[in-house]
Structure 1
């Protein structure tokens, strides 16, 4: 199997870059549809409108219904067809991006992604995570190409709630450990090949950046200030993790996240918060060195990522609930089977319970 690395065609990150969106979009199309939540449009429409002045691009705004599901993808696709749209833009967070990427895939349209938060590594990937209308994980949709442009305005990110930046760190936390597992098992990645040295090194740089800059970036985000630390974490959360997970590979942590979507009490938690706990579970599952697990625990505590089931919203821990998570994490097509050893629902159940106990010890 070939070694493959994929990435967005262009990644732009900097202060005030949202004002240049129209300029960048003009190279891709002349009639744009911008998918954005109602609240996001209220916050950003003035800047968005300004960016398109004199660009030669007309833009229609469409409100996102907040769930990346087949019904919403079909609805937005029908709007694009009706209005003769030739380029689509997603402004906001992960589910907005996954929806607009899927629309671009089905209707062969160039895709522009504009994160207003740094909470996931979804912006850069050729992947959409599809949920049911009720928010339960359904499937992965692998796309034929990555977004044409990812534009990140660091001023906008700095104004977002710091919990979202921290959630992005949780998502990025899994990148190195999952890529390492896929390298060990020679597993196929989301890029439809095996991993490359470049992807592995980007994944490791992502982890190192989190450990070195995460706490200071969290303090900057708490104060809505864009410091060098926060700029580095935005890049780690978005670009390094995006390329790292996709071309490095997914393994246990994201499968365990998907398992937790079967518990309604976890639905209020952000993707990255669940992935962070899934990372701890993966490390327990593979019997990682204690020093490594302790470093991850200390990092999570320093930035406020969950390390126990209770922090994930599971107030009443029962064997039935956790076994349901373990079963959902180990269905035949899940990425947990990229681990370099056999994984069963029983072993995941045990790892979840031990990870929870470790978290309790550290919190205590």
Structure 2
């Protein structure tokens, strides 16, 4: 059955949302297994415990800083069972969200997401990206049900770095570029209404991110909470997640994300220190060349430069010799959405070459 999961049953974003997390989590279970990264738990633990106590919610807390892998999913499943927890709570960024979604799906228990950064839409999207324990890309898993609730606390979001927010902005902008540039048929009368809706929502999110993104990152860097910052976090997490759900992972040439995945599979030592959105942004430059939109490359590159992101393979330390070029080309050719005719194979080669030699002065975002 071809069903749509739009990402979350409930989405809460307000200044003191964390103070009510115990009450919200108790809607789904009596004992929560809370897992999050070290930094994420450190910035949320005191307020979470106070809310849990007030709501008389039992809980266990685990810190985990690795990758969402098949091995860790099995380990987490055993921990949840052994502690008799009946709801899983993920606290942190994309890796934690991918881990808890996959674990909750396999156990058949509810899940509550408490993102502490807006670097991806992982808290919202009904899918998980899995890796090997070492960090190589492994596979995607699409889920049959949605995240039960997402709790976004504006105060907590002020603790993330500007670099994380900027990465989320480029990850959100990717949806429009990936859906629109190669496939004008998403607008024709034979297109499923969901994909048509995804196109217009992706265009809306792209425009908002382009309009308010720089200001929001500057506000965050200054530690000032503004409506622009609130709006960008909402778009990065919720609206981008809805677009992803509407497309069901189909009907788009997602070269931006594929490029990032290919680097994580075959060139991990070069891409490992960069965030998901930064790797995707690098792939978007190739996406625009592949889709014969070279006139848009410079504008995107300018935005990436303002955010101190890599704008070439040279920026991440990867040289494009014959061996590396062939490895990257062959990997990208394996993705199911690629068009295998002479024209598009040449465009793909041109797209890879376009990222080869230019070197940006990257200082890194604080």
Q: Give the TM-score of the pair, scaled to structure 2.
A: 0.88
Partner of 2:325: 322
1:307 to 2:306 alignment: no
Aligned 8 A contact 2:111 2:148 in 1: yes
SS of match in other structure, 1:88: strand
Question: By how many angstroms is 1:181 displaced?
Answer: 5.1
Aligned pair count reads 352
Kindly state the Cα deviation for residue 288 of structure 1 after the two structures are TM-superposed.
1.6
* Distance in 2 (alpha carbons) for counterparts of 1:183 and 1:150: 32
Q: Hey, what's the Cα distance between the residues in 1 that align with 2:184 and 2:237?
A: 25
Name the CA distance, whole Å, in 1 between partners of 2:182 and 2:123. Answer: 22
Following superposition of structure 1 onto structure 2, how do residues 242-261 of structure 1 map, counting pairs within 5 Å?
242-248=241-247, 249=249, 250=252, 251-261=254-264
Is the Cα–Cα contact under 8 Å of residues 67 and 95 in structure 2 kept in the other structure?
yes
Q: Secondary structure at the match of 2:50?
A: helix
User: What is the CA RMSD across the aligned residues, in angstroms?
Assistant: 2.7
Q: Distance in 2 between matches of 1:157 and 1:150?
A: 13
Aligned with 1:62: secondary structure? strand
User: Is 1:271–2:276 an aligned residue pair?
Assistant: yes
Which residue pairs with 2:94 in the alignment? 94
SS at match of 1:39: helix
| Shift of residue 52, structure 1, vs aligned partner | 1.1
2:189 aligns with: none
> Which secondary structure state, in structure 2, belongs to the residue aligned with residue 148 of structure 1?
strand
SS in 1 for 2:29: coil
How far apart, in 2, do the equivalents of 1:195 and 1:327 lie? 32
Residue 297 of structure 1: aligned partner: 301
User: Counterpart in 2 of 1:26?
Assistant: 26
- Alpha-carbon offset, residue 137 of structure 1: 0.5
Q: 2:49 & 2:340 partners in 1: Cα distance?
A: 50
Distance 1:35 1:322 in 2: 39
Contact 2:311 2:360 in 1 (8 A): no
- Consecutive unaligned residues of structure 2, counting only runs of 5 or more, are 187-191
Cα deviation digits, residues 279-323 of structure 1 (max 9, x gap)? 111110010261x33332232223333211122x12533232233
Aligned mates of 2:75, 2:156 — CA distance in 1: 28
Question: Structure 1 residues 194, 276: closer, same or farther in 2, change over 3 A?
Answer: farther
Judged with a 3 Å threshold, the aligned counterparts in structure 2 of structure 1 residues 5 and 39 are, in CA distance, closer, same or farther, namely closer
Does structure 1 conserve the Cα–Cα contact (< 8 Å) formed by 2:44 and 2:156? no
Stretches of structure 1 that go unaligned for 5 or more consecutive residues are 187-192
Deviation of 1:324 after TM superposition, in Å, equals 1.8
Q: How far apart are 1:252 and its partner, in Å?
A: 1.4
Whether the aligned pair in 2 keeps the contact of 1:170 and 1:305 (CA below 8 Å) is no
Cα displacement (A) at 1:360: 5.1
Q: 1:342 to 1:304 in 2, by over 3 A?
A: farther
Deviation at 1:102, TM superposition (A): 0.5
Deviation at 1:53, TM superposition (A): 2.1
1:40 lines up with 2:40 in the alignment: yes
Q: Is the 1:259–1:327 contact (alpha carbons within 8 Å) kept by the matching residues of 2?
A: no
Counterpart position of 2:68: 68
Q: Which moved more, 1:133-142 or 1:317-326?
A: 317-326
The aligned counterpart of 2:220 is 221
Deviates more, 1:232-241 or 1:339-348: 339-348
How far does residue 235 in structure 1 lie from its aligned partner after superposition?
1.3
| 1:106-151 deviation per Cα after TM superposition (whole angstroms, max 9, x unaligned) | 0001111111011111110110111111111111011111211111
Q: Does structure 2 conserve the Cα–Cα contact (< 8 Å) formed by 1:255 and 1:336? A: no
Structure 1 match to 2:140: 140
